[in-house]
Structure 1
Amino acid sequence: MARSLGTAALGVGAALALAGCERKELEAGAPVSGGARAVASMVTSDGAPAGRATATEVAGGVRFTLDAMGVPAGTHGAHVHMTGRCDGPDFTSAGGHWNPTAAKHGTMNPQGPHQGDLPNLIVGTDGRGTIGITIPGATMAGLLDADGSAMMVHANADDLMTDPSGNSGGRIACGVFQPG
């Protein structure tokens, strides 16, 4: 009888553990099994490698990660731009920030942020910096629409408030998202 109760308790424990796992997968930001992914190889205006950005479908949104290299030390605005083009030297072909909900720019703006807003990228003296953030409500279908989208690093810090670009200055590195 003790063995049967122990086996039953083990079964109940396993069922509860599995139920917990199922619940966790439904939480916003949790990985989506077989979820879409896109990668952008970043380049500077002179075509030098500048790192890599990834976009990964997660529950309730898209997770963006930017691993920059060869970028000047300091704080830089980083944004997703609405057009998948990075024509140098100024990368204006990438258009404005990705903003499918027509929100204002910046996490400090009461009418923002829009989906292209990312945290500032802090780059060390070695030219490297990393950011990662999940944007709730963003979709891979929107990111990889007919004209695509691009990851952009700007020359200056983003003030996180001023519309349309946070006074983040010129565009110094760009990469086009490709499914992958």
Structure 2
Amino acid sequence: MEDPTVKKSLITLGTKTSFFLLIGISFALISCGRVQQADVLSAPSAKQAIATIGPASDSSVTGIATFTQNGDQITLTIEIQGASPGIHAVHIHESGDCSAPDGTSTGGHWNPTGVAHGKWGVGEFHLGDIGNITVGEDGTGSIELTTDLWEIGTGSDVDVVGRGIVVHAGADDFTSQPSGAAGARVGCGAIVLSE
């Protein structure tokens, strides 16, 4: 016959063990939740850079260019207004200096890879060869591009910060060297890191 005191001791021991096991598991779950919450709170927010586009060459072109980083992808959205209806090339130029009335202070197309001018995503192209914006009768137009070829605020050769966004009077033909025969610079904005 079993000793009732042994059975009672085992039950007490089992209850105490279960209690401490339950406390340990609860603590582990709470700690894990805090770590996950801390990871989320300390995760860096998306980097962003902007360029406020102002008129050049006596035009009335204005607009905004926004670069937003999500992981290793950067999405550029450009919206312009005050442009003549039709197709206008838009490029990233070497410098964000828009001080010259005709926008020439921005230098040539941004081309850190040293390749020929072309069409974005087809063969060789400058990292500044964004493309063409179609402007409607109301003078507005937009373009969006997503890439992993640029960086924001790193100081590297492929960092867009410090460069210039230039809107041209005409379309980029994607073949004429070195700039696509896009014509005068009618809009200009310096790309700056957004706080």
Q: Percent identity?
A: 36
How far apart, CA to CA, are the structure 2 residues paired with 1:49 and 1:109? 27
Task: Tell me, yes or no, if structure 1 residue 41 matches structure 2 residue 55.
Answer: no
Which one has the largest radius of gyration?
2
How far apart, CA to CA, are the structure 2 residues paired with 1:103 and 1:57? 25
Q: Name the residue aligned to 1:10.
A: none
| Structure 1 pair 55–74 and aligned structure 2 pair: CA distance change class (3 A) | same
Unpaired segments of 5 or more residues in structure 1?
A: 1-31
Q: Name the residue aligned to 2:91.
A: 79
Aligned-pair CA distance for 1:133 = 0.4
- The CA deviation string for residues 16-43 of structure 1, in whole angstroms up to 9 with x for no partner, is xxxxxxxxxxxxxxxx962211111111
Q: Please, what TM-score do these two structures have when normalized by structure 2? A: 0.68
Q: Name the residue aligned to 1:116.
A: 128
| Structure 1 pair 48–149 and aligned structure 2 pair: CA distance change class (3 A) | same
| Structure 1 pair 160–52 and aligned structure 2 pair: CA distance change class (3 A) | same
How far apart, CA to CA, are the structure 1 residues paired with 2:116 and 2:89? 16
| Structure 1 pair 109–137 and aligned structure 2 pair: CA distance change class (3 A) | closer
Alignment: residue pair count: 146
Q: Please, what TM-score do these two structures have when normalized by structure 1? A: 0.73
- One-letter identity of the residue aligned with 1:42: I
1:57 to 69, 74, 78: 69
Q: Name the residue aligned to 2:179.
A: 165
Q: Name the residue aligned to 1:97.
A: 109
Check the 8 A contact 1:40/1:53 in 2, yes or no: yes
- One-letter identity of the residue aligned with 1:143: V
Instruction: Tell me the C-alpha RMSD between the 2 structures.
Output: 2.2
| Structure 1 pair 108–153 and aligned structure 2 pair: CA distance change class (3 A) | closer
How far apart, CA to CA, are the structure 1 residues paired with 2:68 and 2:121? 26
| Structure 1 pair 158–47 and aligned structure 2 pair: CA distance change class (3 A) | closer
Aligned-pair CA distance for 1:175 = 0.7
